[in-house]
Amino acid sequence: MNFIYRMIGTMLLVLVVVSVRAQSGMIRGTVVTTAIDKNLRLGLPGAVVRLLPGDTAVLTDVGGNYSIPYIGTWPLQLVVSFVGYKTDTISVYSESVPDIQLVGSVELQEVSVTGKKEAVGYSRINPLNIERVGEKEILKAACCNLSEAFESSPTVNVAYTDAVTGAKEIRLLGLSGIYSQLLTEAIPNYRGIAGAYGLYFIPGPWMESIQVTKGTGSVQQGYEATTGQINVEFKKPNEESVPRFFLNLFGEQNGNMELNTHVKHEFNEHWSSILMAHGNYMNGNQDLQDDGFLDIPHAQQVNLYNRWHYNSGNRLESQFGWRYVYDLRKGGQFGVMNHSQGLYTTDVLNARAEAFGKLGIVFRDKPGKSIGNIAQATIHRLNARFGITTYNAQERTLLLQSLFENSFNNGQHHIKLGVNYRYDEWTELIDTIDQKTVESVPGAFVEYTYNHADDFSVVIGQRLDHHNTYGFIYTPRIHAKYNFSEEFILRASAGSSFRVPNIFADNLSMLASSRQIIVAPDILPERAWNFGFNATWHFMLNDKEGAINLDAYRSVFSSQLIVDRVTAYNEVLLYNLQGASYSNSGQVAVDYEVLDRLNVRLAYKRDDVKVAYNDSLQRKPLIPYDRSLLNLAYLTANEHWRFDYTIVREGRKRLLPTYVDPTFDSQATQSPVFITMNIQVTKVFRKFEAYVGSENLLNYYQEHPIVNADDPFGPSFDATNVWGPIDGRRIYAGIRYAIK
């Protein structure tokens, strides 16, 4: 608690200092445009702002901001011009000017009609390899939550980790989600015990966009993130494109129902707020495999999010809010009890409360200069039961960060300096074993960006943390980008990472089996390096934009907690890595608008993931050897209909050794190749949208996801050998209603 007070103190101090520094004789404002993206008012960089009378002129910075010195009496006139836009003249009556909006000139308007923003964008400016998943892309998924937002993304895959509780994990660059970092608006979130079901806690309609950084991340968010960062941006109350009222109702043939709603209010030019709510109820009994186990657990979720935004109009911006989620999932056997020990059931209860605050100070006269402060506190409770095994945990975290950034020489040099502190405390009770862990980690970082003209830039980041158990941790990271031309861009990155594994929370699904869990003494923290290379080629063909994107990444562990399920079918061995552990991931993706408003994405990915299990280097099980994806998205000319189609071919996976059931002939060592298809049609009406679709249209599912499902309390029961879909075809329909 002390830290929060100290933090508030620092913020106030900074505030006072800033207001004393106020200058006179400068007119400040921002030039914006909606010609780049019709849903967003974006700052327009490089526009010429000229003061009349006289001929003082300045250029707007990256954010579209300008400041121009004046002498004279009000009103003065500003002439704003930019190639391809209509020149605008406005009268100004004070030093702070409302946003000036430039509209495209005639020629450019035609471009803006045909050249829509693509749903997945590859940046031309950022040295980091970031793939943007826009709202359009998020809408392509049936529903629900973050775990389904990546269905048409080649980069991020989501897989079930057991066949009973519905737990899913993200996979990036061939490695499990624990090695990438999940951020909500640039704050690390859903770590530790919240990790296992964290993807379920972010409802789809709340998200504005997702940014996926491949390879080592920025040092700003800490020493984790070996394979990348997934940042979720939520809908913001101060954005015009967010409707004042929104309602979404959704239902599936399997019995799943959802409700999403939000209310936005702008109190005045400074204050705005949004309240979002999500409810989910699933009560269907589906059992395609006829093994007596529910394919999809019964679920109930209530999720609330309220955030506030304050903008002083000149230099101060603040946001704060809270989130609360209650999520209960009941899976396992259903129906008539047919053995003496009763039914094998699972209950997983997650309850989480979060509060966050952000305070930012921008210096209008100094483009690129700002101060940002972040605070976040969370409390999470997880009560899980798998048959007769129980896991109960509670976690409390506090995160504080202060960041100062500044640009020199017209943005040629940019520097970020920051300090942060993370406090994490969790208590766990596994059956009767009790343990308490505390992590207290202060750290500092510096990130320097050098931009050479328009063609080369490099970001060098370094951070030093002090962990209460493991001492000092040094994390260096570098990202470089070279533009051979406007169209052809090369990127390279290298960086180290550090992570303290959480034996049970990271591997909760291993409790859904009769395997004996054997943990070696003295588990060490994990250390890895990631090296990456990316080439992006933007092209124009038949007056249509397209892009080819090539990725090659390698992650190498020098220390890792190995979860060995391959040495014996009836044991999970957890021990420190002795030998090699790496993941090589290569991907090629092509995006192109083949015909008017018909966008095609074709991608192929190959992952080579190997781990030394007891000194023998072996392929990591349940990771596909390769994966291909084709996505077609079509929008009619009047934009009243949207069609989306995705087909995925998932390659072979190595399977876990399991007890050989005499009813099945022999033990399979590899899963078959399989294909899944998703389809969605949306009809836009004047006041609302309606959509229908199907996931896994071909109704492909794994025949026996649970080994020895007939004897769940016996020694060979295992629900973790999951390589394919469990729940078969899903058909859904929904409506979205919005008041602008």
Partner 1 sequence: MKKLIIVSWLALLFSVSIQAQTDTLKIKTSSVCENCKRTIENDLSFEKGVKAATLDLDSNLITVVYNPKKTTPEKIRQRISDIGYDADDVKRNPKAFNKLPDCCKSPDGHH
Site membership for partner 1, residue 38 (CB under 8 A):
yes
- Name which of 73 and 740 has its Cβ closer to partner 1: 740
Among 4, 388, 617, 675, binds partner 1 (CB under 8 A): 675
- Name which of 241 and 716 has its Cβ closer to partner 1: 241
If DSSP codes are grouped into helix, strand and coil, which group holds residue 516? strand
Could you give the strand order of the β-sheet that contains 180-184, starting from the edge strand earlier in sequence? 120-122, 130-133, 207-214, 228-234, 180-184, 187-188
Site membership for partner 1, residue 114 (CB under 8 A):
no
Among 7, 31, 35, 76, binds partner 1 (CB under 8 A): 35
Region of residue 404 (phi > 0: left; psi between -120 and 50: alpha; otherwise: beta): beta
Q: Which of 477, 555, 568 is nearest to 514 (CA)?
A: 568
Alpha helices in 512-637 (DSSP H): none
- Name which of 87 and 312 has its Cβ closer to partner 1: 87
Site membership for partner 1, residue 187 (CB under 8 A):
no
Site membership for partner 1, residue 343 (CB under 8 A):
no
Site membership for partner 1, residue 629 (CB under 8 A):
no
Site membership for partner 1, residue 82 (CB under 8 A):
no
Region of residue 222 (phi > 0: left; psi between -120 and 50: alpha; otherwise: beta): left
Among 101, 261, 300, 576, binds partner 1 (CB under 8 A): 101
Site membership for partner 1, residue 104 (CB under 8 A):
yes
Q: Which of 385, 405, 409 is nearest to 446 (CA)?
A: 405
Q: CB under 8 Å, gap of 24 or more: what pairs does 432-440 form?
A: 437/502, 438/468, 439/467, 439/468, 439/469, 439/500, 440/467, 440/468
Q: CA quadruple 234, 212, 606, 679: dihedral positive or negative?
A: positive
Per the DSSP assignment, residues forming a β-bridge with 159 are: 169
**Cα separation of 418 and 626, whole Å?**
40
Site membership for partner 1, residue 106 (CB under 8 A):
yes
Site membership for partner 1, residue 486 (CB under 8 A):
no
Residue written as tokens 């506030």? 308
Site membership for partner 1, residue 651 (CB under 8 A):
no
> Do residues 599 and 559 make contact, with C-beta atoms less than 8 angstroms apart?
no
- Name which of 17 and 595 has its Cβ closer to partner 1: 595
Output the smallest distance, CB 34 to partner 1, in A. 5
Site membership for partner 1, residue 454 (CB under 8 A):
no
> Do residues 87 and 80 make contact, with C-beta atoms less than 8 angstroms apart?
yes
Output the smallest distance, CB 598 to partner 1, in A. 7
Output the smallest distance, CB 713 to partner 1, in A. 42
Structure-derived torsion over alpha carbons of residues 141, 145, 146, 152, reported in degrees to the nearest 10 = -10
CA 733 to chain centre: 25
Site membership for partner 1, residue 673 (CB under 8 A):
no
Structure-derived torsion over alpha carbons of residues 106, 111, 116, 122, reported in degrees to the nearest 10 = -130
Site membership for partner 1, residue 29 (CB under 8 A):
no
Size of the site for partner 1 (CB under 8 A): 29
Site membership for partner 1, residue 122 (CB under 8 A):
no
Site membership for partner 1, residue 239 (CB under 8 A):
no
**2 contacts: CB under 8 Å, gap ≥ 6:** none
Site membership for partner 1, residue 692 (CB under 8 A):
no
Of 68-76, 88-96, 270-278, 284-292, which part binds partner 1 (CB under 8 A)?
88-96
- Name which of 517 and 698 has its Cβ closer to partner 1: 698
- Name which of 582 and 645 has its Cβ closer to partner 1: 645
**Cα separation of 720 and 704, whole Å?**
11
Output the smallest distance, CB 105 to partner 1, in A. 8
Site membership for partner 1, residue 689 (CB under 8 A):
no
x/- mask, partner 1, residues 589-628, rule CB under 8 A, reads ------x--x------------------------------
Per-residue DSSP letter, 34: S
Site membership for partner 1, residue 737 (CB under 8 A):
no
Of 256-264, 305-313, 374-382, 629-637, which part binds partner 1 (CB under 8 A)?
629-637
**Cα separation of 733 and 720, whole Å?**
31
Site membership for partner 1, residue 265 (CB under 8 A):
no
Tokens of residue 412, six digits: 């040629």
Site for partner 1 in 369-398 (CB under 8 A): none
**Cα separation of 324 and 318, whole Å?**
21
- Name which of 664 and 688 has its Cβ closer to partner 1: 688
Q: Which of 483, 474, 478, 482 is nearest to 493 (CA)?
A: 478
- Name which of 16 and 637 has its Cβ closer to partner 1: 637
- Name which of 112 and 231 has its Cβ closer to partner 1: 112
φ, ψ of residue 201 to 5 degrees: the values are: -90, 0
- Name which of 452 and 640 has its Cβ closer to partner 1: 640
**Cα separation of 226 and 530, whole Å?**
6
Q: Which of 617, 684, 674, 685 is nearest to 650 (CA)?
A: 674
Site membership for partner 1, residue 52 (CB under 8 A):
no
**Cα separation of 220 and 477, whole Å?**
11
Of 158-166, 195-203, 248-256, 640-648, which part binds partner 1 (CB under 8 A)?
640-648
- Name which of 41 and 479 has its Cβ closer to partner 1: 41
C-alpha Rg value of the chain to the nearest Å: 27
Element (H, E) at 114: helix 106-114
**Cα separation of 309 and 365, whole Å?**
23
Of 218-226, 409-417, 485-493, 643-651, which part binds partner 1 (CB under 8 A)?
643-651
Output the smallest distance, CB 645 to partner 1, in A. 6
- Name which of 112 and 301 has its Cβ closer to partner 1: 112
Site membership for partner 1, residue 634 (CB under 8 A):
yes
Site membership for partner 1, residue 240 (CB under 8 A):
yes
- Name which of 623 and 648 has its Cβ closer to partner 1: 648
Output the smallest distance, CB 686 to partner 1, in A. 4
x/- mask, partner 1, residues 286-325, rule CB under 8 A, reads ----------------------------------------
Output the smallest distance, CB 674 to partner 1, in A. 12
The end-to-end CA distance of the chain, in Å, is 40
Beta strands in 217-315 (DSSP E): 228-234, 245-252, 256-266, 271-282, 298-311
Residue written as tokens 């009378």? 53
Output the smallest distance, CB 91 to partner 1, in A. 8
Per-residue DSSP letter, 375: E
Among 434, 543, 639, 703, binds partner 1 (CB under 8 A): 639
**Cα separation of 685 and 521, whole Å?**
62
Site membership for partner 1, residue 281 (CB under 8 A):
no
Among 6, 265, 466, 640, binds partner 1 (CB under 8 A): 640
Site membership for partner 1, residue 686 (CB under 8 A):
yes
φ, ψ of residue 520 to 5 degrees: the values are: -70, 155
**Cα separation of 6 and 9, whole Å?**
5
- Name which of 34 and 311 has its Cβ closer to partner 1: 34
Site membership for partner 1, residue 90 (CB under 8 A):
yes
Site membership for partner 1, residue 103 (CB under 8 A):
yes
Q: Rounded to a whole number, what is the largest CA-CA distance in the chain? A: 94
Residues that bind partner 1 (CB under 8 A): 34-35, 38, 86, 88-90, 101, 103-104, 106, 109, 112, 240, 595, 598, 632, 634, 637-640, 643, 645, 647, 675, 677, 685-686
